[in-house]
Amino acid sequence: MKNTIFILKEGTPKYKQIYEQFKSFIERGDILPDNPLPSIRQLADSLQVSRNTTLMAYEQLVAEGYIRGEGRKGYFVNELEPVLFQNTVIPPHKKHKETVTPVQIDFRAGSVDQTNFPLEIWRRISNKVLTLRESFRYGEPFGEVCLREQIAAYLFQSRGVKTEPDAIIIGSSTQQMLIHLGQILKDEFTGIIIEDPGYDGAMEAFRFHRFTIETLPVYETGANFSKLEKLRSRLIYVTPSHQSPLGVSMSIQQRQLLIHWAKNKNGFIIEDDYDSEFRYTQQPFPALASIDSTRVIYLGNFSKSFLPGIRLSYMVLPQLVLNRYKNQFLHFESTSSLLSQLTMAKFMEEGEWNRHIKRMRLVYKRKMQCLVSELKEHFKQSTSIIGEQSGLYVLVKVHLNRSEEWLIERASIYGVKVYPTSIYFIKNHPGEAIIKLGFSNLTCDEIQRGVKLLKEAWGC
């Protein structure tokens, strides 16, 4: 394959562009028969797209006979009938239609339920906010006081976290807050411990500041804390309520051990409590920050529990960190919408937030039950379900001796979009493929159809 350049445009699906580009390379003879294509992973990395995207492009090329997969060896160009490609420039309107099955069911974990969104109430409040004089100015650098007051009250009531509004900082996303945090911690702490597997977005934020990264292995049964003493960092990022992505909760003994460790080391724990609202089988465990607030930096957000697109997050800082934070960021404008902050504050003040969370817990519990029972019924012994007690997705370990890529690819042929988990693992991958299925914006009917299609796709 020559040094070919891909230019991916916005607007058209990327996999389609990759597919078209390869098709024209092959048709023009830029890539000759029996030559290998870049691997799914190489191509995804070099084009900065997901592996799922390159996989979909290759799958389409396979389906149309341009290339063939040879198992672990990769993909190779097929010999083409020359007559078919005499006219390489086909007028656009004569081009044959896309034959990739359109996505029917998308098990995406990043959306929220639309049907139960409190549309009218939110509209009423945000329409009102637009008439206030205070909506026409710049916001407070650390977030609006009225929202911080509401969050402080909510955290005390729901997570046992005692805090002053003054110790709360409003941000626009967990990653943005981690970048700011990293800035004030990086001089004292050169390294950080993260969970393996763990939230990839957090790792990226720590890489932003070039922290040395150490990993704490986590399993379905929980983290292996005996490893902690062997690590050098005094800073750790964890997801204690609902480990991301394995779903396990930290026991109270583990929580205490972790706090003891941080105190001993003069370190800090960054507790990301990203979706603690949705626990279906038990009461939520207390937040680390409720046990000891001096060594815990607590992060929360409205993305899972309300709306990801609203871009509202917050953190509670221990005094030591708070002073440094305010000193560093006093002259920085807030990154989160003033209008959204004022609307959310009023929404919480009116009690609508608590009502919304209660309602959504039931809605998501029903969906979770539906997904789990469908999976158990259709897959029986061929899959194990991980993390059904809480959150807005489950992981499915597939005992079919198939790769993650194969499972995603096969699903996509059947019109079902499922998600990889390998991106969350650093060096602790168990070997067997694990697929992520989100359900928040699917109906029970869609979940049922999706699982049935998956069964067909995976042939089990």
Of 28 and 162, nearer to a second copy (C-beta) is 162
Of 117 and 225, nearer to a second copy (C-beta) is 117
Rg (CA), the chain: 24
334 binds a second copy (CB under 8 A): yes
Judge contact between 361 and 389, C-beta under 8 A: no
Judge contact between 412 and 81, C-beta under 8 A: no
Contact window for a second copy (CB under 8 A) among 91-99, 248-256, 335-343, 360-368: 335-343
Of 113 and 456, nearer to a second copy (C-beta) is 113
Q: CA dist 261 to 4, 23, 173, 415, 459, Å? A: 53, 57, 28, 48, 48
Contact window for a second copy (CB under 8 A) among 130-138, 218-226, 243-251, 446-454: 130-138
Instruction: List the x/- string, 20-59, binding to a second copy by CB under 8 A.
Output: ----------------------------x-----------
Contact window for a second copy (CB under 8 A) among 116-124, 242-250, 383-391, 406-414: 116-124
Q: How far apart are CA 205 and CA 82, in angstroms?
A: 51
Q: How far apart are CA 441 and CA 364, in angstroms?
A: 9
Burial per residue of 339-367, b for 16 or more beta-carbon CB atoms within 10 angstroms, e otherwise: ebbbbbbbbbeeebbeebeeebbeebeeb
Contact window for a second copy (CB under 8 A) among 9-17, 218-226, 403-411, 451-459: 9-17
Of 165 and 420, nearer to a second copy (C-beta) is 165
3-state secondary structure of 321: helix
Question: How many CB atoms sit inside 10 A of residue 238's CB?
Answer: 27
Instruction: List the x/- string, 299-328, binding to a second copy by CB under 8 A.
Output: ----x---xxxxx--------------xx-
Q: How far is the CB of 50 from a second copy (least distance, A)?
A: 10
Q: How far is the CB of 57 from a second copy (least distance, A)?
A: 18
Q: List the structure tokens of 392.
A: 């807005």
Which listed residue (1, 90, 103, 119) binds a second copy by CB under 8 A? 119
Q: CA dist 381 to 135, 321, 385, 397, Å? A: 57, 49, 10, 11
Which listed residue (20, 27, 200, 220) binds a second copy by CB under 8 A? 200
Judge contact between 174 and 200, C-beta under 8 A: no
Cis upstream peptide for 430 (omega within 30°): no
443 binds a second copy (CB under 8 A): no
* Site of interaction with a second copy (CB under 8 A): 9-11, 48, 108, 110-114, 117, 119, 122-123, 126-127, 130-131, 133, 135-139, 145, 148, 164-166, 172-173, 175-176, 179, 183, 200-201, 204-205, 208, 303, 307-311, 326-327, 330-340, 441
